[in-house]
Every structure is written in C-alpha cells, then in structure tokens.
C-alpha cells in the first residue's frame, strides 16, 4: 500500500525490491546500535546479497547482538537450553552469525564501531573493518562512508493515541541526526531509502523519539512475524563488585545527575544507591564500617550520605534497567526543563515545582515575562504548566471560562483572581531521564511497556549528540545542558588503568579491539567542562589470565582509551582515588593505594625506578590489607548476602544453571594452562557421582547417560567441577 509516495509492505522480499529500485545494487546500509536492528528486513536483504553477487552490500553498525553458543562442548551443553529459552523465538541476525563463523560472501562487508565485548578478538576480518570513532562522531563517519540506506525497528503509534506516528524508541541515538542528513543528500540528487520495521513488542516513547511514519520510504509490517526483543540477562554481582558499587554510591550528590553503563558494576552502584535511599541506617553502618569518610574524604566533599530528598536526574547514552529501578525506588525524580533560565531559577531555589503567585513574580523580576502579560508570555507559561491549559489570551486579557482578567501582575484584584482561577498546580513537561538507546533483560522491556502515559512522558529518548555533547544545537544549547546537569557523576568502567592516569577500556596494546570507545570519552571530557561534575572510572583490581592473577592497575600500557590528562576519580573494591589536579607522584601513590596488595610493591618499585615517586617512600601498613580475604571479611561484616545479594534485580538463570555456571567457571580457571588441563583431567577421571547427588544437574547438561568417550569425559569433568564448588551461589533477594 502506498501512502503519500511511501510504501507500507507486508513482505520483506518486496521491501528489498523497493530498496533496490530506489538506490540500485550498491547498498551502504546503516543500522542502529544494539536492539533496534530490523531483523526480518536485514535478513532478507542479506540473503538477497548472498544469492546475487552483483549486489555490493556494506553494513555499517555497532553492537550486533547474537545468542551465546559457548566455545567448548561443556559450554555448548550449558548455553544451548539457556539460549533456546531466552532467544528461541527471536530470529537470528544472519549477517552477524556469518561474521562470527567467518563466512561472509565476498560481496558483503560489515563495519562496526562498537563490538559486543570480546566477540571479535580472534576475527581478523572484523578487526580490520572496525571503525574507531566517538559515539558523537558516528553520524559524521556514516555519512562520509556513503550510507544510502538506513533501516530501523520502530513502534507504531496507533495503540498510544498517535495515528500516523511511529517511535524510534530504543534507538533515536543516531537516527535523529542521521535521517535529516540523508534527506539533505537526497536533495542533491543522490538516491536514498529509509526503512522502518514495525514491532509491537517495542515499547512506545514519545517526545523526541516520536516521528511521522511518512518520514520513512518503506515500512515493513507483518504482525504475525513480529518477535520478542533481544535481552541482555542479569549477571551476578560479586562481593568485590558490590564494594565498588558502594564506594561509587558515596559520591552521588542529592539533586545531582547520573550516567552509568551496563554490567554488574553498574548494577552494584544502582543497588547501593537504593539501599542508601530506602535503608539509610544500614547503608550508613557500612559507610562507617569501611571508614569511608576518614580514608576517602572526597566522599564527604563531593558526595553525600543522606537519602535522596531532591532526587537524581538521569542523563545517559544507555538507559539501563537500573534507571527504571531508581525511578521505582523514588530516587530518579529530579525533573529538568527545556528552558535554561527556568532551570537556573529552579537550581537556585528561587522557584520550585509548586506554582504560586511568587512564581510569576520571580519570572517577571528576571525578565522572562512582561506585566501586563502578552500572548507569548501566556503561551510560554501554559507550556510549562504555570498557567492552566484552559487559559486563553484575547484582547490583552486572560480568559478563564466565563471570567475575564487583566494580565497586570501589579493589579491586586487580578492577582487574587489569577491565584484562584488561572494558576496551575505544578510545573509540567519535566523530564527525569534522557537516554539515547536501551538494552536489558526481558523484565526491563515488560516494565517499559507497562509504564503509564505520565511515567513514560518523564523519559525522553533522544539524540546521542544531545546527551553526550555540550555543544549541539539541535535540541538544546550548552547553557541549557549545564543548567540541567548539575553535580553530574559520569560513571564508566575500564579494563585496566595505568599509574599515570590513563584508562584502557576498549582494546589491547597489540591493536586488537575488545569493544569500542562508544561514549566513554565524551562523558569523561564533559566531566571536565561542567561545573561540579566528576568522571568516575570503576574497575576490578585484578583479573585471572591463563590461571594467573594479574593486576588491572598497571605501570604503563601500549594503548589507552582515556588519556592521562583527563584523569579524575578511580574506584576499585579497595577504595577511591581522587586524581584530579594532583601532581604525578600523588596520582601514582593514590592508585597504588587501591591496588591489590600482591602487586603494590612491584608497582611502587617501577614508579620509583622511573623517578615518579620518591625513592624513600615505603608502603604504609594500612595500605597492605588489600586482599581478597579482607574483601570477603569486609563484605560479610557489612551484611553480606543479606544486604548485597548476587542478583538484587532478578535473574534469568535457574538455580541449577547458577550451580553449573560456577562449576564450569572453576573448570575453565583450572584448565587455563597445559599443566592445569592435565591435572584437571587426571582428577576428573576419578570423579564419580555414586550417591546421585548431582543427578538433576547432569540431566540439565544432557549427561545422564553418556554414550561416547567425549560425553563420558564431559560427565566426569562436570562432576569434578561440582565437587570443587559445592557451595551454591546466593539466589536470594535484596532487602532493598
């Protein structure tokens, strides 16, 4: 069906035909990051390219999501049922599957600017095609690459009182800037095609994310083939993660701004923030037990210990499910408004959300409205809820039903009438969350779909150029953003951190890319530009590599994501390092202080050899208790699993899968070296389950009745792993 020259089609193949008719067989396809890829259309186009070598298809995107499959036979046995349960009804993204299996046809190329973490470390093709760019520069780079087709999953407006409209929902991040630029290119005579794929599973969002359906050239709608949204399951939060999250929660300022990313460290921060708000006595007991104020004075000068009376405002390229948890807990509730002067008055406490005649007086004194009021004043006041929507302005007077009032704020009689008849109750139009894209577990999507209209309207999904950058002019200027983003805490994770203050978050020193810079650099840089803002990098102090524990705080490294001149705050499970404006010696020492004690002396020796630390300095005794044993002790004394459970926000893994996952991780660690493999196999051969205590777990792995040598070995390996990890992980719920 054609609507105003646009095509709404129910057949993906016909959508492909229409795209080729419009742009030809050289197709540079731009797809959204993460969730918003229109899988039915993309699969049809990719299959057409596989069948027709005359088609030259180049896909530009980021974060192509695929169901986990596992590497070893044990991992595949574990992941198979789990993946079928979570992803069995979702069509596979076929180009991503072929990329992973290194079998793209020669006429198809895939370039990404952000990988699913670690997914392409051994994939030379994707390493070579990777595009390194800041998130805010992605649209520029896509246009420079010659993109002529953009396709995206969209949510229809009919069910939300918006016929003729669709929502970019999960991915307005780049599309809001990219689509107009494509139209500009089209106006120069270059053919383009913009494709939308309707999916009613996709939550509706209005505000910036809503757009007219006729902005799309082709809309694919086939309700019978719509599919669930790809989910990112909740991962377990370890005791070390919880301590990192707790330290980060001490730096949040009531009435401030929060950005945080996905993963267990972000979830740990959200959980501790909720405990601080809802169970403040328990949170303060942990705060005192860890001696936060004495050991890390930054928490007192920049953070807080009180519940969030004013609340927080979220401004994050990724809206993780934690933001919704913060909203439900009554923390994410500080509303910001899209007028810099109004927001500034709110920040200064000269007006508040409740409307009174004093509100009008302040606005008049500040020169924002005239007296007598004019038509533009009345329209502006109505837009912000200061005057009721029923108020009209005619002939220089305010009309409210049958009442006619002078618009003079100096007239006592008019003021009394305005107070009674015309004033609104509270400011309207405020937003508690600006997000660029979202991705999370199925429960998150269900909660988004269940939001009331009023709750949904407090969330604005918008352009990443608005969120990650201070200087865009599309949705707001620098002054507005600075007024909204007071006391910002931009919290991101890193893999490693150098003693000089550089963060390694996206790649290795041999050039291989783990993930991508995304928006991390944008937020770190912004923290140095906004008054009272801080950039906080969180990381675990150690990791295990090939069976050996190594430090994530290193003397130096051959690659960095964030340069040392942007160093600010770093948090490990051992505490907080305040690096901003500090001389190098202090930076080195503060980082050594929060490193694992097994590596402190080695780091100090390197620093002293390089002349960065005084040769006479010796490690204080109080620094040398940074050990996993002390972490476990501190965690237990702080309330342990009662206050800090492994899965405070629910989980997708069953009880059996949690036990098996722990056993398989232990086996992976034990077999990281050749000697470890031999030793593990030697013990596994002797492992038996004579009492049948692991019968249900072995059944879950499909190893109840092994039929061949491989299965018999796998069965014994699983039994051995279970014997090594007999204490199952916590599966309880949080007291928060």
DSSP string, 94-147: HHHHHHHTT---TTEEEEESSPSTTTTTT-HHHHHH-----GGGHHHHHHHTT-
Integer CA distances (angstroms), 604 to 361, 424, 588, 647, in order? 61, 63, 8, 37
Tokens of 371: 């007296």
DSSP code of residue 265: H
Distance between CA 74 and CA 181 in Å, rounded?
Answer: 48
Q: Does pLDDT of 475 surpass 70? A: no
Query: Quick one: pLDDT at residue 732?
Result: 47
Q: What is the mean pLDDT of residues 628-642?
A: 87
**Helical segments of 135-188, H only:** 138-144, 172-187
- For the chain, give the mean pLDDT: 93
**DSSP 3-state assignment of 12?**
helix
| Beta-carbon contacts of residue 313 (< 8 Å; ≥ 6 apart) | 256, 257, 258, 332, 334, 335, 336, 431, 432, 433, 484, 485
Query: Quick one: pLDDT at residue 253?
Result: 97
Q: Which CATH number fits domain 239-335+432-631: 3.40.1080.20, 3.40.50.720, 3.40.50.1100, 3.30.1330.120?
A: 3.40.1080.20
| Residue carrying structure tokens 């620098």 | 478
Could you please report the per-residue DSSP string of 267-314? HHHHHHHHHHHHSHHHHHHHHHHTTHHHH-THHHHH---S--SS-BEE
- H or E, element range at 496: strand 496-498
Q: Does pLDDT of 399 surpass 50? A: yes
Distance between CA 391 and CA 317 in Å, rounded?
Answer: 38
Distance between CA 316 and CA 504 in Å, rounded?
Answer: 21
Q: Does pLDDT of 3 surpass 70? A: no
- pLDDT tens for each residue of 183-222: 999 999 999 999 999 999 999 999 999 999 999 999 999 9
Distance between CA 194 and CA 201 in Å, rounded?
Answer: 21
Q: Does pLDDT of 337 surpass 60? A: yes
Q: Does pLDDT of 56 surpass 90? A: yes
Confidence of residue 7 (pLDDT cuts 50, 70, 90): confident
Query: Quick one: pLDDT at residue 28?
Result: 98
Confidence of residue 729 (pLDDT cuts 50, 70, 90): very low
- pLDDT tens for each residue of 682-698: 888 888 888 889 999 99
Tokens of 277: 């708000």
Distance between CA 616 and CA 613 in Å, rounded?
Answer: 8
Distance between CA 667 and CA 669 in Å, rounded?
Answer: 5
Indicate where the chain has its CATH 3.40.1080.10 domain(s): 2-225
Closest by alpha carbon to 253, among 329, 337, 332, 311? 311
Q: What is the mean pLDDT of residues 274-289?
A: 95
Integer CA distances (angstroms), 441 to 273, 438, 507, 536, 638, in order? 20, 10, 26, 25, 29
Could you please report the per-residue DSSP string of 321-332? HHHHHHHHTT-B
Confidence of residue 474 (pLDDT cuts 50, 70, 90): low
Kindly give the pairing relationship between strand 488-493 and strand 534-538: parallel
Query: Quick one: pLDDT at residue 735?
Result: 59
Q: Does pLDDT of 158 surpass 70? A: yes
Confidence of residue 1 (pLDDT cuts 50, 70, 90): very low
- pLDDT tens for each residue of 534-586: 999 999 999 998 889 999 999 999 999 999 999 999 999 999 999 999 999 99
Q: How many beta carbons lie within 10 A of that of residue 71, not counting itself?
A: 10
| Beta-carbon contacts of residue 576 (< 8 Å; ≥ 6 apart) | 247, 250, 251, 296, 298, 299, 569, 570, 594
Indicate where the chain has its CATH 3.40.1080.20 domain(s): 239-335+432-631
**Contact between 112 and 128 (Cβ < 8 Å):** no
Percent of the chain at pLDDT above 70? 97
Q: What is the mean pLDDT of residues 650-655?
A: 92
Closest by alpha carbon to 312, among 225, 254, 246? 254
Closest by alpha carbon to 588, among 625, 556, 563? 556
| Beta-carbon contacts of residue 147 (< 8 Å; ≥ 6 apart) | 28, 29, 30, 60, 178, 182
User: For the structural domain made of 2-225, what CATH number should be given?
Assistant: 3.40.1080.10
């Amino acid at each position: 069906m054609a609507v105003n020259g646009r095509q709404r089609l129910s057949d993906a193949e016909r959508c492909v035909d229409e795209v080729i008719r419009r742009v030809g067989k050289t197709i540079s396809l731009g797809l959204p990051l993460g969730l918003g890829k229109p899988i039915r259309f993309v699969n049809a186009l990719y299959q057409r390219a596989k069948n027709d070598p005359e088609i030259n298809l180049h896909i530009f995107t980021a974060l192509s999501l695929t169901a986990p499959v596992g590497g070893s036979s044990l991992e595949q046995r574990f992941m198979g049922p789990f993946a079928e349960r979570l992803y069995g009804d979702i069509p596979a993204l076929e180009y991503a599957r072929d990329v992973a299996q290194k079998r793209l046809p020669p006429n198809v190329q895939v370039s990404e600017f952000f990988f699913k973490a670690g997914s392409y470390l051994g994939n030379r093709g994707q390493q070579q095609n990777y595009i390194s760019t800041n998130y805010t520069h992605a649209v520029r780079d896509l246009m420079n690459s010659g993109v002529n087709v953009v396709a995206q999953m969209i949510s229809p407006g009919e069910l939300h009182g918006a016929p003729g409209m669709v929502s970019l929902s999960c991915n307005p991040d780049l599309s809001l800037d990219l689509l107009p630029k494509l139209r500009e290119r089209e106006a120069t005579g270059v053919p383009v095609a913009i494709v939308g794929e309707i999916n009613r599973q996709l939550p509706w969002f209005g505000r910036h994310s809503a757009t007219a359906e006729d902005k799309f050239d082709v809309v694919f709608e086939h309700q019978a083939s719509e599919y669930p949204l790809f989910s990112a399951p909740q991962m377990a939060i370890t005791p070390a993660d919880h301590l990192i999250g707790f330290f980060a929660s001490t730096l949040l300022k009531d009435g401030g701004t929060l950005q945080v990313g996905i993963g267990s460290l972000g979830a740990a921060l959200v959980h501790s923030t909720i405990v601080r708000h809802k169970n403040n006595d328990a949170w303060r007991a942990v705060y005192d037990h860890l001696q936060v104020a004495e050991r890390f004075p930054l928490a007192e000068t920049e953070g807080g210990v009180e519940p969030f009376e004013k609340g927080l405002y979220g401004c994050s390229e990724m809206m993780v499910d934690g933001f919704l948890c913060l909203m439900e807990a009554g923390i994410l509730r500080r509303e910001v408004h899209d007028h810099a002067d109004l927001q500034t008055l709110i920040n200064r406490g000269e007006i508040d959300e409740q409307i009174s005649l004093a509100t009008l007086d302040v606005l008049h004194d500040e020169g924002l409205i005239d007296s007598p009021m004019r038509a533009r004043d009345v329209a502006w006041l109505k837009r912000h809820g200061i005057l009721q929507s029923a108020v009209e302005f005619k002939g220089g007077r305010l009309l409210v039903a049958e009442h006619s009032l002078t618009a003079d704020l100096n007239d006592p009689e008019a003021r009394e009438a305005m107070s009674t008849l015309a004033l609104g109750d509270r400011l309207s139009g405020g937003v508690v969350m600006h997000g660029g894209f979202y991705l999370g577990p199925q429960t998150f999507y269900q909660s988004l779909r269940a939001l009331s209209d009023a709750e949904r309207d407090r969330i604005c999904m918008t352009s990443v150029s608005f969120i990650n950058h201070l200087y865009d002019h599309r949705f707001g200027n620098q002054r507005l953003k600075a007024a909204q983003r007071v006391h910002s805490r931009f919290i991101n994770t890193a893999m490693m951190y150098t003693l000089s203050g550089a963060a390694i978050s996206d790649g290795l020193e041999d050039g291989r890319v783990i993930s991508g810079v995304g928006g991390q650099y944008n937020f770190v840089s912004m923290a140095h530009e906004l008054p009272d803002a801080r950039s906080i990098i969180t990381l675990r102090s150690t990791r295990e590599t090939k069976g050996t524990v190594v430090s994530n705080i290193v003397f130096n490294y051959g690659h960095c994501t964030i340069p040392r001149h942007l160093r600010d705050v770093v948090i490990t499970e051992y505490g907080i390092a305040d690096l901003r404006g500090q001389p190098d010696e202090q930076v080195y020492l503060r980082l050594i202080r929060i490193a694992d004690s097994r590596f402190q002396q080695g780091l100090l020796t390197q620093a002293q050899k390089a002349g960065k630390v005084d040769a006479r300095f010796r490690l204080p005794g109080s620094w040398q208790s940074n050990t996993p044993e002390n972490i476990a002790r501190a965690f237990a004394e702080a309330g342990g699993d009662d206050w800090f459970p492994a899965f405070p926000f629910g989980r997708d893994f069953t009880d059996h899968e949690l036990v098996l996952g722990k056993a398989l991780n232990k086996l992976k660690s034990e077999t990281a070296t050749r000697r470890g493999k031999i030793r593990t196999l030697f013990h596994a051969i002797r492992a038996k389950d004579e009492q049948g205590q692991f019968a249900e777990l072995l059944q879950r792995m499909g190893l109840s009745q092994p039929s061949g040598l491989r299965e018999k070995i796998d069965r014994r390996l699983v039994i051995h792993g279970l014997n090594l990890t007999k204490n199952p992980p916590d599966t309880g719920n949080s007291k928060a």
